[in-house]
Structure 1
Amino acid sequence: MVEKKKEALLPRQESLGWLVAVLGGQMADSLDQRLKALGLHIGLWPTLFVLWEEEGLTQSELAARCQTANYTTTRVLDTLEKLALVERRKHPTSRRAYQIFLTEQGRALEAEATALAKACNHEFLSALSEAERDQLIALLSKMLAARATADLS
């Protein structure tokens, strides 16, 4: 006789954390496959994405915006430097800090790389109507903003 499993209090399919983690993992894998065509990988993406928004950040500022540890950011920057996509420049007012800037090659990747990311987003959002997409993005943004406010208090 086969024993029935005890019903979970919160099934995976109703767990926000599980759903977000699975979807995030699938999206990261999909984007990673696309980025390989450019000689990049998903581990470099957050740093490049932030630098395309704003250059001249210090490594600490970059780590905070990417929500990664400083040592992780150091490794990513080392890789991006070897790929000739970024350069470190001495900070004008701090003897210890460096500012991070994209090279021409790093800037040139932006259009193609962000097009790949948009295609990935489109693929994953294709099951939703335009109104549902807008609502999902708005709700997730609202949740992130609430968390950021909670983390400050």
Structure 2
Amino acid sequence: MTSPHSENLLPRHTSFGWLIAVLGGQLATELDGKLKTIGLNITLWPTLFALWEEEGLTQAELAARCQTAHYTTTRVLDSLEKLELVERRKHPTSRRAYQIFLTEKGRELEAEGTALAKECNRNFLSPLSEDESETLHALITKVVQARMS
């Protein structure tokens, strides 16, 4: 039997993967709650965020940028179309591809949506100093970029 204090010594509490998974889950849950206040949810977020950065992407480009499977991206785009936030347009040089563009309604959500995400990030990083927060961000970015190359 373990004591309540020995839980801090469990291997998962020193596992980078476990800690990142826990933090990611907590962050996703909080952001999802905030996004619901503007009629969105966490499953739509990566695609909208990518389109706010650059419109006119194909579904394959969106799937790659969002790190999602093509069928997932199809379902997300279907949902975004039903909400009248995006529209598919025929690609000018490919007969099979479509480009994805935001509607005016989709563009109007950017300021409020990104403000909610920034608030969520500030909440999660609040235990850290500004320098610690910048260092954490830089280190995680370095690991992610190394894994993507």
| TM beyond 0.5 | yes
Matched, 1:133 2:133: yes
3-state DSSP of counterpart to 1:43: coil
**Which position in structure 1 is the counterpart of 2:73?**
73
Unpaired runs of at least 5, structure 1: none
Q: TM-score, normalised by structure 2?
A: 0.94
Q: Tell me how far apart the structure 1 counterparts of residues 2 and 131 of structure 2 sit (CA, whole Å).
A: 44
Structure 1 residue 10: Cα displacement: 6.8
Matched, 1:93 2:64: no
CA displacement, residues 8-47 of structure 1 (integer Å, 9 cap, x when unaligned): x971111000000000000000000000001110000000
CA displacement, residues 41-91 of structure 1 (integer Å, 9 cap, x when unaligned): 000000000000000000000000000000000000000000000000000
**Which position in structure 2 is the counterpart of 1:27?**
27
Q: TM-score, normalised by structure 1?
A: 0.91
**Which position in structure 2 is the counterpart of 1:107?**
107
Q: Tell me how far apart the structure 1 counterparts of residues 24 and 78 of structure 2 sit (CA, whole Å).
A: 26
Moved over 4 A (4+): none
Q: 1:142 to 1:10 in 2, by over 3 A?
A: farther
Query: Partner amino acid for 2:66?
Result: C
3-state DSSP of counterpart to 2:89: strand
Structure 1 residue 137: Cα displacement: 0.3
Q: Tell me how far apart the structure 1 counterparts of residues 10 and 85 of structure 2 sit (CA, whole Å).
A: 45
Structure 1 residue 148: Cα displacement: 0.9
Q: Tell me how far apart the structure 1 counterparts of residues 141 and 35 of structure 2 sit (CA, whole Å).
A: 25
Query: Percent identity of the aligned residues?
Result: 72
Query: Partner amino acid for 1:26?
Result: Q
Q: What is the Cα-based RMSD across aligned positions, in Å? A: 1.6
Q: Tell me how far apart the structure 2 counterparts of residues 23 and 148 of structure 1 sit (CA, whole Å).
A: 21
Q: Tell me how far apart the structure 1 counterparts of residues 32 and 128 of structure 2 sit (CA, whole Å).
A: 23
Q: 1:70 to 1:3 in 2, by over 3 A?
A: closer
User: What is the count of residue pairs matched by the alignment?
Assistant: 145
Q: Tell me how far apart the structure 1 counterparts of residues 83 and 146 of structure 2 sit (CA, whole Å).
A: 37
